[in-house]
A and B are shown apart, each in its own frame.
Chain A
Amino acid sequence: LAKTTQPISMDSYEGQEVNITCSHNNIATNDYITWYQQFPSQGPRFIIQGYKTKVTNEVASLFIPADRKSSTLSLPRVSLSDTAVYYCLVGGTSGTYKYIFGTGTRLKVLA
Chain B
Amino acid sequence: EAQVTQNPRYLITVTGKKLTVTCSQNMNHEYMSWYRQDPGLGLRQIYYSMNVEVTDKGDVPEGYKVSRKEKRNFPLILESPSPNQTSLYFCASSNQGTLNTGELFFGEGSRLTVL
Contacts and interface: CB of A to CB of B under 8 A. Distances in A.
B102 A34 contact: yes
Contacts of B43: 44, 87, 101, 104
B109 interface: yes
A98 B59 contact: yes
B96 to A, nearest CB: 11
Given A42-B108, A98-B58, A103 B41 contact: yes
Nearest to A42: B108
Contacts of A31: 102
A13 interface: no
Contacts of A104: 42-43
B100 A46 contact: no
A interface SS class: loop
Contact of B102 (A42, A45, A91): A91
A42 B103 CA distance: 17
A23 interface: no
A93 interface: yes
A89 B35 CA distance: 14
Interface of A: 30-34, 36, 41-46, 49, 87, 89-93, 97-104
29 contacts: A32-B100, A32-B101, A34-B101, A41-B108, A43-B4, A43-B92, A43-B106, A44-B43, A44-B90, A45-B106, A46-B103, A49-B102, A49-B103, A87-B42, A89-B102, A92-B99, A92-B102, A97-B31, A97-B48, A97-B99, A98-B45, A98-B58, A98-B59, A99-B45, A99-B102, A100-B45, A101-B44, A101-B45, A104-B42
**Which 6 A-B residue pairings sit nearest by Cβ, starting from the closest?**
A43-B106, A91-B102, A32-B101, A101-B43, A103-B42, A34-B102
